[in-house]
Amino acid sequence: MSDFFQAISDYSPYLWEGARVTLALSGGGAVVALVVAVVLGLCAISPVAVLRVGSRVIVEFFRGTSLVVQLFFLFYVFPLFGIDLPGMWCGIVGLGLNYGAYGSEVVRGSLNAVAKVQWESTTALSMSWPLAVRRVIWPQAWGLMLPGLNNLMVMLVKGTAVALLIGLHDLTYWVEVMRKDPEVGLWIAYGAGFLFYYLIALACSSGLRLLERRAQRRLGLAPSKTRTTRATAEAVA
Amino acid sequence: MEFDLEFALETVGPLLMAFLQVTLVVTVAGSVVAALLGLIWAVCQRELPTPVRLPLSWVLDVIRMTPLPLQLLFAVAIFISFDGYRKFPDTDVETIGMILGVAVFAIHYSTYMAESYRAGIDSIRQGQWEAATALSLPRSRVWRAVIIPQALRATLPSLGNWAIAMFKDTPFLLVILVPEMVAKAKQLGGASYQYTEVFTVAGLIFLAASYPTAVLMRKLEKKLVY
């Protein structure tokens, strides 16, 4: 065990550097993904047919082609057209668009899951669509979508390891460097790697779980079970 | 910069080849093993005594919450530390990479599938368990003849969806240098910096394979899950 802490403290500047890249990709990716998910999710239920079809096409495109392919497009193809994003931004935009598309399915599903009478009552009150969504539908859907978004957040954190493929030095990279150091070795290096990723994912997941509890309390609902595997499986397929 | 259609069409052949030989093989083998393992985890989580069950759940959580590329590199590193490449001198490096890839993908996605099975098992009404007890069926028979067939109905579309997700994660095999489709695309494009064409073709092949399957799963879901 002391070997483990010795290795971690020896490599702490590098691990910190790697963790910073991983955290920046996770945080940046999550922000982009949330925006994309909300915009596309709202478009998917909007009364305007063009928006619905447009969001459907975009979502299916990003869900259907692999994350790595999209990332390589940003990293290798865009510079050919004069758009030269730094690796970090490629990662953030790529992760954000891909997981945003998955997230929009969760958002759409939750908005659709709000009871029909809620929509009908907004019509009875002659609310406009934006007002109805903002004040009536969204607050109720929010509590429903958080478990699904939570699962996707954990997947996004794991997805940051694609950084490796576009030359970024993230946690995975430094773990592999540690592994090659004969004084550290396989088990300590990867033990640290699994532990760090687990802790980051756990922190994100717990934070979102708190938000979820709060949203459900405000709606007067009992806390749900956190596992929403079916919805997530549907979103990522 | 214009799109070189002729070059794009030329790459379709080799990319489809890599798709059939690596991507598809890994996905199919990985999903089958993952579906079996996932079922085992789900049943274990119900049957094992708590002191064994809790560590198992924790290990599954860690596998589920850590990145595939890290796990792939880990598998290769373990293989190297046991001197694997020297022990199997006749097997070529790509095949070894593929086998390790299948193992990692199977284990990783089995942790997701276990959750799907668990949801399916939870959805079975208590009366079914009670009826099985009333008939004094042995425990293994309860699972085989009563619970699993019913749970499978609710679980199958989910399993299919995870298989599609796994399919789209196969390019991660790049990190352990397995020549799957995207690696092949990168190699073909890199020779002349014609990345636009190769990645467009690769993306389209992914889309063409995953979209119809996803639609099929949605149909299946409507039919099977009530």
| B chain contacts of residue A161, beta-carbon cutoff 8 Å | 67-70
Residue A59: enclosing H or E segment and its boundaries? Answer: helix A49-64
Alpha helix segments (H runs only) across chain B: 5-18, 24-47, 50-65, 68-81, 84-87, 93-122, 126-134, 139-141, 148-169, 181-190, 195-224
Structure tokens at A130: 């934006």
- Residue A228 confidence (pLDDT): 61
* pLDDT surpassing 60 at residue A174: yes
Cβ contact, residue pair B171, A68, below 8 Å: yes
CB hemisphere CA count around A190 (13 angstroms): 20
List the domain boundaries for chain A.
Answer: 2-236
**pLDDT 10s digits, B45-67:** 999 999 999 999 999 999 999 99
- Find the closest chain A residue to B208 by CA distance: A64
* Residue A65 contacts B, CB cutoff 8 Å: yes
- Residue B118 confidence (pLDDT): 92
Write the CB contacts of B136 (distance below 8 Å, at least 6 apart in sequence): none
Phi-psi label, residue A167: left if phi above 0, alpha if psi -120 to 50, beta otherwise: left
* Residue B171 contacts A, CB cutoff 8 Å: yes
A229 pLDDT tier (thresholds 50, 70, 90)? low
Cβ contact, residue pair B77, A194, below 8 Å: no
Q: Which DSSP category does A136 fall into?
A: I
Spatial separation of the C-alpha atoms in residues B113 and B194, rounded to whole Å: 39
* pLDDT surpassing 60 at residue A226: no
Cβ neighbours of A164 (radius 10 Å): 21
CB hemisphere CA count around A224 (13 angstroms): 17
CA distance A186 to chain B (A): 7
* Residue B119 contacts A, CB cutoff 8 Å: yes
- Residue range A2-236, CATH number: 1.10.3720.10
Q: Which DSSP category does A109 fall into?
A: H
Alpha helix segments (H runs only) across A160-219: 171-180, 185-218
CA distance B220 to chain A (A): 12
CA angle A79, A91, B187 (to 5 degrees): 55
Which residue type is seen at B30?
G
| B chain contacts of residue A202, beta-carbon cutoff 8 Å | 65
Structure tokens at A229: 């595997």
Share of chain A residues as helix, strand and coil, in percent rounded to the nearest 5:
85, 0, 15
> Are A194 and A205 in contact, with CB atoms under 8 Å apart?
no
ipTM, two decimals = 0.90
Of residues A68, A172, A236, nearest to B70 (C-beta) = A172
* Residue A169 contacts B, CB cutoff 8 Å: no
Mean per-residue pLDDT for A206-232? 80
Of residues A64, A80, A165, nearest to B195 (C-beta) = A80
> Are B173 and B25 in contact, with CB atoms under 8 Å apart?
no
Mean per-residue pLDDT for A196-210? 94
Question: The tokens 């994660």 sit on which residue?
Answer: B169
Cβ contact, residue pair A186, B78, below 8 Å: yes
- Three-class DSSP category at B6: helix
Structure tokens at A86: 């730094």
- Residue B110 confidence (pLDDT): 97
List the domain boundaries for chain B.
Answer: 5-224
The phi, psi pair for B137, rounded to 5°, reads: -70, 140
Cβ contact, residue pair B74, A190, below 8 Å: yes
DSSP secondary structure, B84-148, as one string: HHHH-TTS-HHHHHHHHHHHHHHHHHHHHHHHHHHHHHHTS-HHHHHHHHHTT--HHHIIIIIIH
* Residue B69 contacts A, CB cutoff 8 Å: yes
CA distance A60 to chain B (A): 7
- Residue A156 confidence (pLDDT): 96
CATH 1.10.3720.10 fits B5-224, yes or no: yes
Q: Which DSSP category does A221 fall into?
A: P
Question: pLDDT tens per residue, chain B (226 residues)?
Answer: 577 888 888 888 889 988 999 999 999 999 999 999 999 999 999 999 999 999 999 999 999 999 999 999 999 999 998 888 888 888 888 899 999 999 999 999 999 999 999 999 998 999 999 999 999 999 999 999 999 999 998 899 899 999 999 999 999 999 998 988 999 898 888 888 888 889 999 999 999 999 988 888 888 888 877 5
- Residue B78 confidence (pLDDT): 94
CA distance B108 to chain A (A): 12
* Residue A84 contacts B, CB cutoff 8 Å: no
A25, with CB counted inside 10 A (0-12, 13-18, 19+), is buried
* Residue A197 contacts B, CB cutoff 8 Å: yes
| B chain contacts of residue A69, beta-carbon cutoff 8 Å | 171, 182, 199, 202-203, 206
**pLDDT 10s digits, A80-94:** 888 888 889 999 999
Mean per-residue pLDDT for A140-169? 92
- Find the closest chain A residue to B221 by CA distance: A234
* Residue A233 contacts B, CB cutoff 8 Å: yes
CB hemisphere CA count around B21 (13 angstroms): 15
